[in-house]
Structure 1
Amino acid sequence: MEGSFGGVWHDAAVPERQPLTSVEARIDAVAHRLLAGAPTGGARARAVEFGVFVLKQAWACVFGAAFLVVVLAAKLWYPDDAALARNDALTIAAVLIQVVMVAGRLETLRELRVVVLFHIVGTVMELFKTDVGSWMYAADGILRLGGVPLYSGFMYAAVGSYMVRVYRLFDLRFSRYPRRWLTAVVAALIYVNFFSHHWIVDLRWILFLAVVVLWARTTMHFRFFRGTFRMPLLLAFAGVALFIWLAENIATYAGAWLYPSQVGGWHPVDASKLSSWFLLMIVSVVLVTWVYPPRGPDAEEPAPTR
């Protein structure tokens, strides 16, 4: 069956899905055995699909969620007089989480390449943004580059980990996906604007309009359990940006970093940051598509890739 947010479900052929890791394949087999008797229609079927959606989203977020738990635990319980600086402890914890992800076959080496790329792209931005005073970190620890503790790159890597995992777990397909070279140009301009707006006019709203024009006709197709669903890709971008903004509020509350206005006392991150996260989502998506080229809803009809 196929579903559409706000539409009618109907029977449809399900295309071949992205391969799972060995651990995920075993979990998937157990889940299918447990759900073998699940209804195929009606409200109960929709409830089962929603339950699987929540569990898959949690699994896709496992790296970021694990690191966020570590950050919160460090705020609550890490001793101020510990021999190992808190920032260094967070960096070591992030490395260990990443090692467990790969060694435990929760993440493929192909996905690890994307995560490392996110780490590099994010660290470059961190070095610049902290230098111009956009945000700041505590000054303790030796595992750092300038004013940037090395764990900061793992926060961008968490976004990359989520992006590549959700692509595979939900077997994402796309209708009317724009040419990748066009998306790469827009993503590059967005990334440059994160730096250049400190000296010249901020072009974010022009770039935002370019994103809307470029992806306005694109539909994302995805699967939870039995059903195949579809939704506008721009809506998915906005949803993930909101999720990252909520995580940012937790991270700043835990002292992972602070904006200048939060130094005197924590308060929620301004909602205007949603536009920044939305645009950063575009950079993230484009990076992922160069490892996982977007495919059409039918395996025999690939989405445009050039």
Structure 2
Amino acid sequence: MKHFQNFLYFGFEQAKSCLFPIIIFLSLALTKMIEIPFIARYDLILLICLMAQIMMILFKYETMDEVKVIIVFHLIGLALELFKVQMSSWSYPEEAISKIYGVPLYSGFMYASVASYMCQAWRRLDLRLNRWPSSWVTIMLGSSIYFNFYTHHYIMDLRWILKITILLVFIKTYVSFTVNKTSYKMPLIVSFILIGFFIWIAENIATFYGAWTYPNQEQTWQIVHLGKISSWLLLVIVSFMIVAELKHVKSTKEFISKRRKTTILEKVGITSPLKW
């Protein structure tokens, strides 16, 4: 009974963590069904994303540190979108004022929503990484994965080599999380696969509502090829690495700050902050 209650609690916390992605999907669906004559659909979605982000900050649903991470993802995602659209990997067929080189600016928020979910879930479920590899390993691997999205158009696609490398690097890594004061753990590779699969489902919903269009969907909508799970898996891993490294940098700074305060207190003869 306890585990069932924890499962429901876990689902509720996941749903709260998905607020930003939910807002984006609702805006895609509603703007597809309801046409507003005085504003282009892509422009309206951009305004909704901006307002949603501002409201989440004002109501302290997201911390400023989380917003910084989201901005990084927005820029990384927008850069990838600009390149992929020029390479005809997919397209945004509708007209809008907020399109740059064929890419609507709201597209960056779709990547930012993944970061928003990760940051929210990390905080709400008290995520902890065990046996996380060295920073230089994750930075090199993450950079290789991200740039392969660009370079595979010109040279050999290295995704399978990268996947084998990921398995070797993270085979011993597992993530611990807390659900209603009960601790659980899961192999990190399994969590990558699960997130990638659910994003693939989300991608099918997004393309159905015209968020973007793959070449085989231009005449009529079709299910996104299962091979895209592979691409999303790699993108999720890059996203997770960025969030994990930023969390690591922040925790290191906090540790150094606390160490300095303790050293100062010891120098003035105070051994415990409670005596201050």
In the TM superposition, residue 138 of structure 1 has moved relative to its aligned partner by 2.2
The correspondence for 2:101, drawn from 131, 146, 162, is: 146
Q: How many residues align?
A: 252
Question: Which stretches of structure 1, 4 residues or longer, exceed 4 Å deviation after superposition?
Answer: none
Using structure 1 for the length normalisation, give the TM-score. 0.80
In the TM superposition, residue 67 of structure 1 has moved relative to its aligned partner by 1.1
Equivalent in the alignment of 1:243:
198
Distance, in Å, in 1 between the alignment partners of 2:177 and 2:60 is 23
Equivalent in the alignment of 2:153:
198
Distance, in Å, in 1 between the alignment partners of 2:250 and 2:178 is 14
Distance, in Å, in 2 between the alignment partners of 1:212 and 1:84 is 47
The correspondence for 1:61, drawn from 5, 15, 18, is: 18
Distance, in Å, in 2 between the alignment partners of 1:167 and 1:294 is 15
The answer to whether 1:180 aligns with 2:135 is: yes
Pairing 1:34-53 to 2, within 5 Å after superposition? 44-53=1-10
Distance, in Å, in 2 between the alignment partners of 1:260 and 1:48 is 44
Equivalent in the alignment of 2:227:
272
Deviation by residue 1:205-224 (Cα, 9 ceiling, x = unmatched): 00011111110100111011
Distance, in Å, in 1 between the alignment partners of 2:196 and 2:76 is 18
Pairing 1:205-284 to 2, within 5 Å after superposition? 205-284=160-239
Distance, in Å, in 2 between the alignment partners of 1:177 and 1:219 is 8
Equivalent in the alignment of 2:66:
111
Contact 1:174/1:294 (8 A) holds in 2:
no
The answer to whether 1:70 aligns with 2:27 is: yes
Mark the runs of 5 or more structure 2 residues left unpaired by the alignment.
Answer: 256-276
Comparing 206-215 with 70-79, greater Cα deviation is found at: 70-79
SS for the counterpart of 1:174 is: strand
Equivalent in the alignment of 2:54:
99
Distance, in Å, in 2 between the alignment partners of 1:174 and 1:86 is 41
Distance, in Å, in 1 between the alignment partners of 2:125 and 2:207 is 30
Equivalent in the alignment of 2:120:
165
Distance, in Å, in 2 between the alignment partners of 1:207 and 1:245 is 20
Mark the runs of 5 or more structure 1 residues left unpaired by the alignment.
Answer: 1-43, 301-306
Equivalent in the alignment of 1:24:
none
In the TM superposition, residue 226 of structure 1 has moved relative to its aligned partner by 2.1
In the TM superposition, residue 76 of structure 1 has moved relative to its aligned partner by 1.1
Equivalent in the alignment of 2:86:
131
Task: Using CA pairs under 8 Å that are at least 6 residues apart, name the structure with larger relative contact order, 1 or 2.
Answer: 1
Distance, in Å, in 2 between the alignment partners of 1:56 and 1:208 is 30
Contact 1:220/1:233 (8 A) holds in 2:
yes
Greater percentage in helix: 2
Contact 1:49/1:226 (8 A) holds in 2:
no
SS for the counterpart of 1:221 is: strand
What is the root-mean-square deviation in Å for CA atoms of aligned residues?
1.5
In the TM superposition, residue 291 of structure 1 has moved relative to its aligned partner by 2.1
**Aligned AA (1:100):** M
Deviation by residue 1:67-106 (Cα, 9 ceiling, x = unmatched): 1111111111124xx1211110011111011111111110
In the TM superposition, residue 293 of structure 1 has moved relative to its aligned partner by 1.4
In the TM superposition, residue 283 of structure 1 has moved relative to its aligned partner by 1.0
Using structure 2 for the length normalisation, give the TM-score. 0.89
SS for the counterpart of 2:186 is: strand
In the TM superposition, residue 295 of structure 1 has moved relative to its aligned partner by 11
**Aligned AA (1:135):** W
Distance, in Å, in 2 between the alignment partners of 1:272 and 1:129 is 17
